[in-house]
Amino acid sequence: MNGKLSVNQLIKFILVCIVSTYSILAQAEQVFLIKTSKGDIVIETYADKAPITVKNFESYVDSGFFNGTIFHRVIDGFMIQGGGFDKDMNQKDTNDPIKNEAANGLKNLKYTIAMARTSIPDSATSQFFINVADNSFLDYPGQDGFGYCVFGKVIEGMDIVDQIAKVPTTSKKGHADVPIRKISINEIIKK
């Protein structure tokens, strides 16, 4: 051998690279269907950028936790938030909080999905929000040095997200920006 690849070897090498790349990408992106009372939203998640967050979200999906929850906080021009309250505005018991992975390079752009949290950076549990505008002030490091972790984006159903963002809201049980007419998350499933 003279150290050069034959045409057949080169083709085999390229095919192996393509298949390997496709396998890695397939593992990195998981697709979920969010069935709401307004219509369906499809998201893809990025486990390669936010592995803890995606695993956390997937565990809630697998357990059926989100089924019957609502979008309980809607602010047009900002975001729609759900995944933590039932139809009567009772907060559901959750798993332990997770580490904030906001320093993953993903930005809070319109139609991205991110984890809601309290003023404590590592406090995210089940609640998530979908940005309905570019919210760069939420990006790492954000206003508090930590930011809010983006872990995916909407790939279908942007019109449903926009419809939800426009619903009238009120205050209920000490919470502001609650839709007057409930918007249910009927089910979230892996596609």
* Span 11-47, pLDDT tens digits: 776 766 665 554 444 455 899 999 999 999 999 999 9
pLDDT value at residue 142? 86
* Span 158-183, pLDDT tens digits: 999 999 999 999 999 999 999 999 99
Instruction: Identify whether the C-beta of residue 95 lies closer than 8 Å to the C-beta of residue 126.
Output: yes
Alpha carbon distance 139, 18 (integer Å): 33
Helices of type H across 29-157? 51-63
With bands split at pLDDT 50, 70 and 90, how would you rate the model's confidence at 134? Answer: very high
* Span 88-104, pLDDT tens digits: 999 999 999 999 999 99
**What is 8-65 written as a DSSP string?**
HHHHHHHHHHHHHHHHHHHHHEEEEEEEETTEEEEEEEETTT-HHHHHHHHHHHHHTT
Q: Classify domain 30-190 by CATH number.
A: 2.40.100.10
- What's at 40, amino acid-wise? D
